[in-house]
Structure 1
Amino acid sequence: MLPPALKSIYQQYKADTDAVATWLATTAKARGYVQGLGSAASGGAPSGRLKGKARKQAKQVAQPPQDFGATISSKPAAQAKTYVLKISDFEPMASFLSRIESIKVPDYFAVAIERVVWGTVRLSHLRKNFSNGLGGSGSAADTASDERHMYFANVLERVRDTLRPQMEAGVFNEEELDKARAARKGQNTHGPFSNYYSILGIYEPSEQYEEIAPPKTTPSASSQPEVKYTVEQDNSYEEASFLFTMLSVEYAELRSALERLWKEWAQGKRDLASVSVATNLCFELARSMEDDIKPISDKHGGGLNFLKGYFMNICAATGFDGEDLQEAGDMYNLWGYPLAHDLLINTAELLNGHFENNSTKDLITSYNGSFGWYNPRMGDPEHLSNRENWTQDMTALLEILPDIQFLGSNMCRGIVEDELIRGVSEQLQFGRGAKTPMWLAWAFQIYLDILKPLGPRCSRGYDEMVRESNMIKNAMLNVPPSEARDRVLSVASKWDHDPIQLVRDKMIELGELRGPGSPAFKFLRRNPMHCGLWIHMMRTTFHRSGAEYIAEPGAVMVTTQLYHALRQEKLLGDDLIWEDLKTIWDMQGNASFFAIEAPASRDAYFNNYCLSLGLSAKNWVPTNRAKQVKGKKAPPPTAHNANKRFLKIMGRVSMLLSHRLMPTGARAAPSAEFLAKVLEEGRRHQFIDGKGNILPGKKEEAKMKNFEGLSPSQLVRHIAEAIEGERAELSFNYFAMHDTVWKLLEEIRKQIVDTFGAEAAPLPEEKDLPFVAGYVFATASGRKGVQETGQPTDDLINIAAEVIAQFLKDGKGHSVKGWPKTAEVGDVGKLKFNEVYPWGMNRFVQELRKKGGGRQLKELQCPIL
């Protein structure tokens, strides 16, 4: 059972009910109880859109990838066999168990039943109000459903009271509950839905229900039952309506959290990439939450059916007819625009219309401006009329939906695919008549919530994306051709040309599409979230590729060892600090550079150097050296890869989540539990080395969990903060760091050769420059090899000290830290790499041209600002 707040309201209510049923039945059965142990579940309704192979693949994709030593398992948990338990069986089992003195009720059961009692009693009372509200608008109230829930509430209360003597005292920490309630005072825990739903007396989770959370609420792995018991599902319209309302409250909470994050970005207080990734995750969470109730809601027409019903009920309750149109062509009585806005009617209907009219389109489409154009200069939406706001909503979506459709097509799949693109693509594949899911209507409402308050500054996200792209491309200017360089440039250069404008204008020119044309990069200028996701992908690609780029030569590792040795030997002045190297050292930790923790002698410098390259410590054991036969060479050193040092891929949370931005087709949506595990993995990453091993003495700290008890909206905010906190790690220029140390090792080698001559100093070739540090350590410790000793000499270590000291005096120790953070287009415009055209559309454009000349592109283009 998950910590309470990690689940949606419905998930937690259902999980608590199942936990109570499962403990009662399994414990009673183990003690000889044989009556009323339930019947096998029939499997129930399908839980989602995916089946067969697609569902299997989706389950795999839903988990974080297993690279970088991930600890979040992708192995699906074994499914316990499920039995359905009758409500009438609860009380006899509780009575039976109460007579066995040796049985102690576990804390998690006590907490679960207490939450269920609180919730069920409250739900039972509010269901009646809810039924009355529906009945007032002509909907049939299900009195039988009300009676079942009140009966269940009474049964649970009696079960709890029967078993209370066997519960541990002090399960509920009243002091902590008081603190939690105090912390909630003054917070806006109501979303835009709540005011409208209160008209019908809709459920709002009570503070008590949410805050019952003792220290230990989860059964241990050893106590997990092999079978699971559940209460028979109520599939009535009443139940479906109520579950849908729970979902609406969850959406309202997430919407409020996103509103705060985007407001902070607009004020310059938060990073665009972190807010964008958090928003896209919210879209995925919204889908996951809707999927939970989908088997029931689909039996009664789906979520949008409830939306429309709520809208009409609320209109009637506030005194006007929602179907009394003010003008021909209106979707509803625009007097109710604020209600329709919050109840997702606007986005849902616009999406339905787009999918109905475009489900058979396989080429790019275009909005012709028949309803006008979105105007960012209209001003604050709060000061506009309902009709003006509706027109702004409608035109903003009608203008961007064709672009989103194109980016999700096989013609133009990018490296980044957000949930808006993925959701639109799926709906179009379903064909005409497919119902828009509530989560997608909600996600597009969030898009409008982001766009409209920005007004004429709506292109700010695009400006940030261009700056980030130029900065990263600038870092690649002097990097030699390599796979890592090409990978970075492929992402950073992807939007150098606008594929939407290119294809649309060419099709207009050839007569395949009606105008007007589209300004360049209009999609990005109107979509700061998508820009933020590209920034995130650029940063993660830049970091991972840079770490791989410097890992194989090992120049940074051995130079860090050399710098450490020189400071230990007092051969560098206290004022000569290598800031760049210290930065990467602090980020990576000692374990990425040293096999021997902080070596402090010349023998230790050399031994650490050898160990970090993968040699075995056995090579220094005297008995091994004694085995040498006089007149013969010593046996070759033995290797032991456990000693080999590796740099860590940093930005753990960012890296795990970047994979969810790639085009992967249908997949399962993540849960709040998934986000909590990602955050825990990010925290754990601080205590591991480059091979994923927990550092000595850090085992207990690595196990700690800091994210239990957080709501989905709180988890999303923590995700945003974690990604923002990793920005410095992702932005550090590993490419420049490698180039810097490589040139330094070249200079050390040159000085040694100039001093002693090439023959007297048999140093490695330039392609093996990291071994120069090994020669310095070997001569300083009097080693001729791993197993041979000689006379120590200071000659080479002194030369290394002189070269590094001069390097630092020349101010080169902070060149990476101070590398240009901005770059003009002219600086990077001539960058070349293997990819001819990032979107791979050359052949497509050629095919269009073969169709012959058509009418010329019209001068008229739709406005952008």
Structure 2
Amino acid sequence: MEAGLFKSGDLDKKTDVKTNHPAKGMFDVLNVYTPSEEFLNAPDIMPTPTTETQYTVKEEVTWEDAFFAFTALLRDYGYLSQEIHSLWVKYAKGELDLAAVALATNTAFEFAHSIEMDIKKVMDKFGGTTVFAHLCFEAACEGLGIDKERNSPGAMYNLAAYDVAKVLTLNSMGLFKSLVDHNRDAVISGSYNGAFGWYEERLGAGSGNNTERRNRDKTAPSEIFPGFHFLNTTPGQGDVEDELVRGMGAALKEKKENPRLWISWALQMYLDIVQGLGESVGRGYEQFKQESLKIQKALVDLPKTAERRQVLQVATRWNHDPIYETNQSMMEFGAMAHSDDNAAFPFLRRNPIYCGLLIHHMRSMLHVNGVKAAAPSRAWEDLEEFWGYQGKPCFFVGNPSKDLEGYYKNYCLCLGTSLTHRAPNRRSAKPTEHKGNAPNIKFDGWVSLSLDNRICVDNPREPWTIATVGELLTECRKKAMMDGKGHIQEDLKQKAKEANVSPDKSLQQAFINRSQLEAVPKSPSGLIEQLAQVVNSEIPRISFNFFTMHNIAWSLLTDLKRAFTAGVGPEFLTYVHSEDQLPFVVGYVSSTAAGHGSSDVRERSVGNDRFLNVATEAMDEFLYEGKGN
């Protein structure tokens, strides 16, 4: 086709249209032209221009870079040390529970581990943090005019530099390395023979010259090291392992020339805690014994269920000292030299951190298994302190009932009957039950249970970071606002409505978060302090004895069933025909009193207080016999 066909001049010559025809020249405005060959051959999409590769010289890590990273590490360790010291002072004053302080301390050890890993690539250029610590020690000695080559008798360095070595954790590092190297291939570590003397609790961190201070630093860890070793063996492995036990086990397996710096710092912190407590260092062991015996006594006469057995296994594990008994057996068989210094429970007496973790684990097991025993399906069917822990949604659908009809409605709703069946236009239909509508009991103490999972014996894992613990604390606050089904509790939603917040769920959630959640600390020391406070606040919740409460409630329901059977006759058994239906006894009382003898809400008759009176008499007798305590 020729381009000329579209020229207005040609159109005038080749058509019969008159000059004044309205259609003449109608294509003039198009100004049609022929595209160039370059345009026709151009690609549809312009290619991305090629970028010119630029090469730069990679800078090597300098000694100054490593020194900056190392001093920052020591600074963070210093902040953590101050916070740990503050928590143990509060424990000594009775302001914080042992379990809360022990868990926070153990988490601080994890922080120390993760912080060291953050600078690993830099420090590896100079042999690692341990080697670099020795380089810094030598530089410090030279700067202070201390002869680093002049070793004191029985020491690996000149004790004139004791304070410098303590800051760099070289004191605990050297002891840890020698103990690990000596026991690396041992099946069972022998008991301490008193080579450095024996730890005297009354002296604590006391005064003295550097030689005396150094010897005191050796005795306490040396006396409990066999316990750390034992807990890393197959026969000695228990339910709980802290970061010291875990770190010791890793060092025994890795066979590295130098231990990691965090483990020597953690061992130094353990020593500071023991020396700081002085003669009250055994207080943690005494509390552990009391907690263990209290749980055993509370469960001894209860039905023998699988949940009860799991709790008792944990609570009775340290009724006898497994370390002491193993050593005694080895002495009898000649596998270990006889010693009169082999006493029972030295590991727990001198290790308040581990005692605190054992206490926390027992409480957590009591809570988790107690919830399972009291509500196998997690649908709560039985009982006020506890009401405050679980919240209204666990017991009431809507607001608490104020009359008999209200209690009956709540009873039906707790069975899972839909609210829509109470609407006037739906009462002609038979109501249906749906377990998804029934309120659930919830596991409480979310942070405490998360930390319990953390201290349980587990496979090798990465240490917790600051970000991880921050997320844990934030999530825990959200969990505390939810009911047993994971929904925001109604009273919190009501606050959002009163504040004229949009009905949009996401906006209401944001309002609740702002009003309920304070900012989580960002620093390691701030997180450790808050973690201890949160765990301390959750102790009453996870220590609540669901086993006993459930047993008492079940006993009352059994008495009520017996009284109703005697008053009504055998036909009552058709309403509560099996043991697991006992909670329906309460429903029967409220139903008949409200005039709903039938489970069908469409049927209504005159209310009957007869069964309410029978229930009152049965409860009075139950309480008179002291069963409600």
> When the two structures are superposed, what TM-score results if normalisation uses the length of structure 1?
0.61
CA contact (8 A) 1:651 1:730 kept: yes
Which letter maps to 2:585? V
CA contact (8 A) 2:240 2:455 kept: yes
Q: CA deviation at 1:437?
A: 0.3
Which residue of structure 1 lines up, in the alignment, with residue 39 of structure 2?
A: none
Tell me which of 685, 688, 707 is aligned to 2:482.
688
Q: Tell me, yes or no, if structure 1 residue 425 matches structure 2 residue 219.
A: no
Which residue of structure 2 lines up, in the alignment, with residue 531 of structure 1?
A: 355
Which residue of structure 2 lines up, in the alignment, with residue 484 of structure 1?
A: 307
Taking a change above 3 Å as real, the CA distance of residues 737 and 446 of structure 1, as seen in their structure-2 partners, is same
Which residue of structure 2 lines up, in the alignment, with residue 785 of structure 1?
A: 599
Tell me which of 605, 614, 625 is aligned to 2:407.
605
CA distance in 2, matches of 1:773, 1:675: 44
CA deviations 1:343-398 (Å, max 9, x no partner) are: 20111111111222222223333332233222323x24341221111111112222
Q: CA deviation at 1:490?
A: 0.9
Which residue of structure 1 lines up, in the alignment, with residue 258 of structure 2?
A: 435
Which letter maps to 2:600? V
CA distance in 2, matches of 1:606, 1:552: 24
Q: CA deviation at 1:416?
A: 0.5
CA deviations 1:519-573 (Å, max 9, x no partner) are: 1111101101100000010111111111111113889x4444xxxxxxxxxxxxx
Which residue of structure 1 lines up, in the alignment, with residue 69 of structure 2?
A: 243
CA distance in 1, matches of 2:54, 2:390: 55
Q: Tell me, yes or no, if structure 1 residue 703 matches structure 2 residue 504.
A: no
CA deviations 1:98-150 (Å, max 9, x no partner) are: xxxxxxxxxxxxxxxxxxxxxxxxxxxxxxxxxxxxxxxxxxxxxxxxxxxxx
Tell me which of 732, 736, 744 is aligned to 2:544.
732
CA distance in 2, matches of 1:475, 1:733: 8
Q: Tell me, yes or no, if structure 1 residue 639 matches structure 2 residue 433.
A: yes
Taking a change above 3 Å as real, the CA distance of residues 554 and 320 of structure 1, as seen in their structure-2 partners, is closer
Q: CA deviation at 1:647?
A: 1.1
Q: CA deviation at 1:400?
A: 1.8
CA distance in 1, matches of 2:96, 2:264: 26
Which letter maps to 1:591? P
Tell me which of 589, 597, 610 is aligned to 1:776.
589
2:458 aligned counterpart, secondary structure: coil
CA contact (8 A) 2:469 2:527 kept: yes
CA distance in 1, matches of 2:87, 2:110: 17
CA distance in 1, matches of 2:92, 2:387: 34
Tell me which of 96, 113, 127 is aligned to 1:301.
127
CA distance in 2, matches of 1:757, 1:544: 39
Q: Which runs of 5+ in 2 are unaligned?
A: 1-47, 494-508
Taking a change above 3 Å as real, the CA distance of residues 601 and 296 of structure 1, as seen in their structure-2 partners, is same
CA distance in 1, matches of 2:134, 2:66: 14
CA deviations 1:703-736 (Å, max 9, x no partner) are: 3442344311011011111111111112222112
Taking a change above 3 Å as real, the CA distance of residues 585 and 262 of structure 1, as seen in their structure-2 partners, is same
Which letter maps to 1:590? K
Q: Tell me, yes or no, if structure 1 residue 648 matches structure 2 residue 433.
A: no
Q: CA deviation at 1:442?
A: 0.4
CA deviations 1:452-483 (Å, max 9, x no partner) are: 12233322111110011011111102211001
Q: CA deviation at 1:758?
A: 2.9
Matches within 5 A, 1:197-216: none
Which residue of structure 1 lines up, in the alignment, with residue 565 of structure 2?
A: 753
Which letter maps to 2:409? N
Matches within 5 A, 1:571-590: 582-590=384-392
Q: Tell me, yes or no, if structure 1 residue 352 matches structure 2 residue 154.
A: no
Which letter maps to 2:609? D
Q: CA deviation at 1:496?
A: 0.8
Q: CA deviation at 1:690?
A: 0.9
Which residue of structure 1 lines up, in the alignment, with residue 215 of structure 2?
A: 391
CA deviations 1:741-776 (Å, max 9, x no partner) are: 122222222332333333367441461211101211
CA distance in 2, matches of 1:480, 1:279: 37
Q: CA deviation at 1:678?
A: 1.8
Which residue of structure 1 lines up, in the alignment, with residue 612 of structure 2?
A: 797
Which residue of structure 2 lines up, in the alignment, with residue 372 of structure 1?
A: 197
CA distance in 2, matches of 1:361, 1:673: 39
Which letter maps to 2:138? M
Taking a change above 3 Å as real, the CA distance of residues 38 and 442 of structure 1, as seen in their structure-2 partners, is farther
CA contact (8 A) 1:676 1:707 kept: no
CA deviations 1:239-297 (Å, max 9, x no partner) are: 12211111110001000111111122122222111000000000001001001011221
Which letter maps to 2:531? I
Taking a change above 3 Å as real, the CA distance of residues 797 and 338 of structure 1, as seen in their structure-2 partners, is same
Taking a change above 3 Å as real, the CA distance of residues 676 and 36 of structure 1, as seen in their structure-2 partners, is farther
Which letter maps to 1:301? G
CA distance in 2, matches of 1:660, 1:682: 15
CA distance in 2, matches of 1:322, 1:267: 42
CA deviations 1:153-192 (Å, max 9, x no partner) are: xxxxxxxxxxxxxxxxxxxxxxxxxxxxxxxxxxxxxxxx
Q: Tell me, yes or no, if structure 1 residue 595 matches structure 2 residue 389.
A: no
Q: CA deviation at 1:622?
A: 6.0
CA distance in 1, matches of 2:573, 2:370: 32
Matches within 5 A, 1:157-176: none
Q: CA deviation at 1:614?
A: 2.9
1:300 aligned counterpart, secondary structure: coil
Taking a change above 3 Å as real, the CA distance of residues 37 and 459 of structure 1, as seen in their structure-2 partners, is farther
Q: Larger relative contact order (C-alpha < 8 A, sep ≥ 6)?
A: 1
Which letter maps to 2:540? A
CA distance in 1, matches of 2:619, 2:561: 12
Taking a change above 3 Å as real, the CA distance of residues 748 and 36 of structure 1, as seen in their structure-2 partners, is farther
CA contact (8 A) 1:364 1:504 kept: no
CA deviations 1:478-503 (Å, max 9, x no partner) are: 21100111111011101011111111
CA contact (8 A) 2:474 2:520 kept: no
Which letter maps to 1:313? A
CA contact (8 A) 2:466 2:522 kept: no
Taking a change above 3 Å as real, the CA distance of residues 485 and 38 of structure 1, as seen in their structure-2 partners, is farther
Question: Would you say how many aligned residue pairs link Structure 1 and Structure 2?
Answer: 560
CA deviations 1:769-824 (Å, max 9, x no partner) are: 111012112212322123551413222233334444565677765x2xxxxxxxxx
CA deviations 1:394-422 (Å, max 9, x no partner) are: 12222222220110122211100000010
CA contact (8 A) 2:183 2:189 kept: no
CA distance in 2, matches of 1:389, 1:549: 52
Which letter maps to 2:576? P
Q: CA deviation at 1:515?
A: 3.5
Which letter maps to 1:781? A
- Over the matched positions of the two proteins, sequence identity in percent amounts to 35
CA contact (8 A) 1:558 1:609 kept: no
Q: CA deviation at 1:645?
A: 1.5
Taking a change above 3 Å as real, the CA distance of residues 546 and 38 of structure 1, as seen in their structure-2 partners, is farther
CA contact (8 A) 1:254 1:282 kept: yes
2:335 aligned counterpart, secondary structure: coil
CA contact (8 A) 1:680 1:706 kept: no
Which letter maps to 1:609? Y
CA distance in 1, matches of 2:330, 2:232: 18
Tell me which of 398, 402, 407 is aligned to 2:226.
402
Which letter maps to 2:78? A
CA contact (8 A) 1:262 1:275 kept: yes
CA distance in 1, matches of 2:258, 2:289: 37
Which letter maps to 1:410? T
CA contact (8 A) 2:173 2:259 kept: yes
